[in-house]
Chain A
Amino acid sequence: MAKNWPLARRKENLQQRACLLRQIREFFVGNGYVEVETPHRIPSPAPESHIDAVPSGTWFLHTSPELCMKRMMAAGYEKIFQVCRCWRERERGSLHLPEFTLLEWYRAGGDYRSLMEECEGFIQSMARSIGLEQKIVFRGREIDLSGPWERMSVHEAFHDYTQTSVTEALERDLFDEIMVRDIEPRLGLEKPMFIYDYPAQRGALARLKRQDQSVAERFELYVGGLELANGFSELVDASEQRKRFQVENENRQSLGKRIYSMPGKFLAELDEMPPAAGIALGVDRLVMVFLNAETIDEVVAFTPEEL
C-alpha cells in the first residue's frame, strides 16, 4: 500500500474524471463549439459582492473566465467553451476548493431557457458516455436523469419550502441563510432541478427579465441538493453593466472588502456582444455527482491541505 494511501485510493475516481474531461471536449466540439483558452492571470476581476480573487503580483488569478470569453463573443466568436482552473479566496469546505475546475460555455443567440435545455442534454450525454444508467445514486438517493428536468422559480421555491417570501427574505437580509438552510437541501432530489428568475441584485452580469424587471434571467442547476451550474441570459448593455459593477463595488466596500478596478476593455467592447447565454458548471462537482462522492476532496488529486 502506497505511503500516500488517500491518494492511491482515489485512483479510480481520477481515471473516471479524466474520462469525463475527454467526453466534455468531444461533446462540445461535436456540437460546433470552439475550445478556447483565456489567461488565468488578469488585471481586473469582475466586481461582485461575494466573490474574492486571489492576488497574483499586482494582478489577480481569475475567479472565472467570464470576462475574457465575453470579449471573444463581442469579437465575433459565436460558440465557445473552456475548461479551466479558477481561484476564489477563502472558499474551502466539503463542497469547495479555493482552486477548482470550471467549465464555461457561451452561445450567441441563446437565452437562459434554451441554455437550460442544452445543459440538460449535456449532462445526460455525459452520464451515458461514462457508462452510467439513467438512474444514478447520489447522497443516498436515486436520481432520475431522464428529461424533462424539474423547473421552479426562486419565488415558487420560497413559497413552497419556507414561511418567507423572497421580498421579505431580501428585506430582512436573510436570503442566503434561508437558501442554504431551507431550500437547497430539497432541490433536485428525484430529478435534477433548475431554479430560475433570481432577484435582480443576485445577477450582476445577467439580463433582467423584460416582463418583470425585479428578476434576472438567471438559473442554477441542483442535483441531490448540490449546486452544479449557474447560467444566464447575458447582459450586453455596457452602461448598465458599469452601473452594476459600481453597485457591487459599493457593496464590497461596505463589507470591508477590496475594491476591484473597472474592467475597462471588457466594458468598452460589451456593446458589440450579440444577445447570448452563458453558463459556468463545476466540473469537480459533476464528478462528485457521477461518482456518488461525499466530498470534493475525493475527486481531486490534491487538496490544499495535502500539499
Chain B
Amino acid sequence: MYTASDLRKGLKVILDGEPYIVTSFDFSKPGKGQALYRTKLRNMITGLTIDRTYREGDTFEPASLEERAMQFLYKEGDHYHFMDNENYEQIIISEGSLGDAKNFLIENLNVEVLMFGDRPIGVELPNFVNLRVTKTEPWVRGDTSKADFKPATLETGYVLRVPPFIEEGELITIDTRTGEFSKRVKE
C-alpha cells in the first residue's frame, strides 16, 4: 500500500479497479491546516486525466503491471510500434497511452512495455536518454545577460530549456523522469 506522502510523478496506482499514473503532483498546506496532495492522474487505459486531492492518511493500491522488454521500432501517425525482444512479436501503443514518454522515444530505444493483463498500456523509459538538438538559438559568447536558459527543440519534436552553451546538432542527455536537461554528451 502507498500512502499520500508516497505520491510522486510517475507513481502507478489502482483507482476503481483501473491503473492510473500520477502525471503531476503538488503538496499544499493551508496555514495550520492539513497536508493536501493535489494530483493529476492519467487513466493508463483510456488516456483520460483526472484531478484528485488526497489527504495524508489516504492509501493506494499499487498498480503492479507486468513489464516486457521491447524495442521501439517506428511511429506511424499516432501509432507507436514496438517489438518484444524475446518473441519478436510486434505491438502498437497509441500516442495517448504513452503520455510524456513519446517525447523521448527514438528508434531502437530499449524500453519496458507495461502490460495490464494482455493490454500494452504504456512504457517505462530508461531514466536517461540521449537526444539530438535539432533547433536552438546560437550562443553569443560573453553574453552575461540574464538568459540562464534558452529553448531547444529535440529530434522528437520535444521542446525544453537548456543552458545557453548548448548548440544546434549537439547530443544531450535528458532525465526522462522530469523531462529536464541533464548534461551534454561528449561525442
* Closest beta carbon of chain B to A79's beta carbon, Å: 24
Residue from the list B34, B36, B148, B149 in contact with A49, Cβ < 8 A: B34
- Given contact pairs A90-B5, A230-B31, A176 touches B148 in the complex (Cβ within 8 A): no
Instruction: Across the interface, name the chain B residue whose C-beta is closest to A201.
Output: B32
Contact yes or no, A179 B148, CB < 8 A = no
Given A50-B35, A92-B27, output 7 extra A-B contacts at Cβ < 8 Å.
A9-B148, A96-B27, A176-B30, A179-B33, A180-B38, A181-B53, A255-B57
* Closest beta carbon of chain A to B4's beta carbon, Å: 10
Q: Would you call A111 an interface residue if the criterion is a C-beta within 8 Å of the partner chain's C-beta atoms?
A: no
Q: Would you call B60 an interface residue if the criterion is a C-beta within 8 Å of the partner chain's C-beta atoms?
A: no
Top-7 shortest CB links A-B? A93-B27, A176-B33, A9-B148, A179-B30, A50-B34, A220-B31, A230-B31
Chain A contacts for B148, CB-based, 8 A: 9
Residue from the list B5, B30, B146, B165 in contact with A180, Cβ < 8 A: B30
Per-residue CB proximity of B27-48 to A under 8 Å, as 1/0? 1111111111010000000000
Chain B contacts for A256, CB-based, 8 A: 57
Q: Would you call B26 an interface residue if the criterion is a C-beta within 8 Å of the partner chain's C-beta atoms?
A: yes
Per-residue CB proximity of B127-155 to A under 8 Å, as 1/0? 00000000000000000001011000000
* Closest beta carbon of chain B to A100's beta carbon, Å: 12
Contact yes or no, B53 A202, CB < 8 A = no
- The docked-state distance in angstroms from the alpha carbon of A50 to that of B34 is 5
- The docked-state distance in angstroms from the alpha carbon of A12 to that of B145 is 12
Chain B contacts for A5, CB-based, 8 A: 163
- Given contact pairs A9-B148, A180-B38, A50 touches B33 in the complex (Cβ within 8 A): yes
Contact yes or no, A91 B33, CB < 8 A = no
- Given contact pairs A92-B27, A93-B26, A180-B38, A204 touches B32 in the complex (Cβ within 8 A): yes
- The docked-state distance in angstroms from the alpha carbon of A49 to that of B35 is 11
Contact yes or no, B28 A180, CB < 8 A = yes
Instruction: Across the interface, name the chain A residue whose C-beta is closest to B164.
Output: A1
Chain A contacts for B149, CB-based, 8 A: 9
Contact yes or no, B32 A230, CB < 8 A = yes
- The docked-state distance in angstroms from the alpha carbon of A76 to that of B26 is 43
Contact yes or no, A91 B29, CB < 8 A = yes
Chain B contacts for A202, CB-based, 8 A: 31-33
* Closest beta carbon of chain B to A94's beta carbon, Å: 6
Instruction: Across the interface, name the chain A residue whose C-beta is closest to B4.
Output: A90
* Closest beta carbon of chain A to B150's beta carbon, Å: 12
Chain B contacts for A176, CB-based, 8 A: 30, 33-34, 36
Return 19 A-B CB contacts under 8 Å, by A number. A1-B163, A5-B163, A9-B148, A48-B32, A50-B34, A90-B5, A91-B27, A92-B27, A93-B27, A94-B26, A94-B27, A176-B30, A180-B30, A180-B33, A198-B32, A202-B31, A203-B32, A227-B30, A256-B57
- The docked-state distance in angstroms from the alpha carbon of A12 to that of B33 is 34
Point out residues on B near A: beta carbons under 8 Å.
5, 26-36, 38, 53, 56-57, 146, 148-149, 163, 165
Q: Would you call A175 an interface residue if the criterion is a C-beta within 8 Å of the partner chain's C-beta atoms?
A: yes
Q: Would you call A95 an interface residue if the criterion is a C-beta within 8 Å of the partner chain's C-beta atoms?
A: yes
Chain A contacts for B36, CB-based, 8 A: 176-177, 180
Chain B contacts for A203, CB-based, 8 A: 32
- The docked-state distance in angstroms from the alpha carbon of A162 to that of B175 is 40
Chain B contacts for A1, CB-based, 8 A: 163, 165
Instruction: Across the interface, name the chain B residue whose C-beta is closest to A10.
Output: B148
Chain B contacts for A198, CB-based, 8 A: 32
Instruction: Across the interface, name the chain A residue whose C-beta is closest to B38.
Output: A180
Residue from the list B29, B33, B38 in contact with A175, Cβ < 8 A: B33
Chain A contacts for B56, CB-based, 8 A: 90, 255
- The docked-state distance in angstroms from the alpha carbon of A92 to that of B27 is 6
Chain B contacts for A181, CB-based, 8 A: 53
* Closest beta carbon of chain A to B75's beta carbon, Å: 32
* Closest beta carbon of chain A to B28's beta carbon, Å: 5
* Closest beta carbon of chain B to A269's beta carbon, Å: 23
Chain B contacts for A255, CB-based, 8 A: 56-57
- The docked-state distance in angstroms from the alpha carbon of A176 to that of B35 is 9
Q: Would you call A272 an interface residue if the criterion is a C-beta within 8 Å of the partner chain's C-beta atoms?
A: no
Residue from the list A9, A12, A50, A220 in contact with B29, Cβ < 8 A: A50
